[in-house]
Amino acid sequence: GAVVSQHPSWVICKSGTSVKIECRSLDFQATTMFWYRQFPKQSLMLMATSNEGSKATYEQGVEKDKFLINHASLTLSTLTVTSAHPEDSSFYICSARRAGGPYNEQFFGPGTRLTVL
């Protein structure tokens, strides 16, 4: 159990376009999902926390108008990178916390590698 999927696994886009990434919990309900970003040889940085049916909470320094998060159901959260630029190229990883699960265990999706040309 505790499988999280992401789609797409990789995407290449032109500067100025928008990219949507989906995160799904496949075999459990996730009250909370998280979006992280990881640059090469660096650790994961939390971008935002997404609770089903409410607005996302963004970490300091993360532009909420640029990184739009929607958590419409207990199994799906989406991250849209709007007007992407080369500096947004990164590995985007979502995680989900299982409803009723103990102590904030988070299970990660396989990640989406975004390259902006």
- Candidates 63-71, 72-80, 82-90, 95-103; binding stretch for another protein (CB under 8 A): 95-103
8 binds another protein (CB under 8 A): no
89 neighbors 67 (Cβ within 8 angstroms): no
Residue span 43-82 as binding mask against another protein, x where in contact by CB under 8 A, dash where not: xxxx--x---------x-----------------------
Q: Looking at 42, 73, 83, 115, which residue binds another protein (CB under 8 A)? A: 42
Instruction: Name the token pair of 64.
Output: 């909420």
Query: How far, in Å, CA of 15 to CA of 58, rounded?
Result: 23
Going by C-alpha positions, the residue among 61, 38, 58, 41 that lies closest to residue 50 is: 58
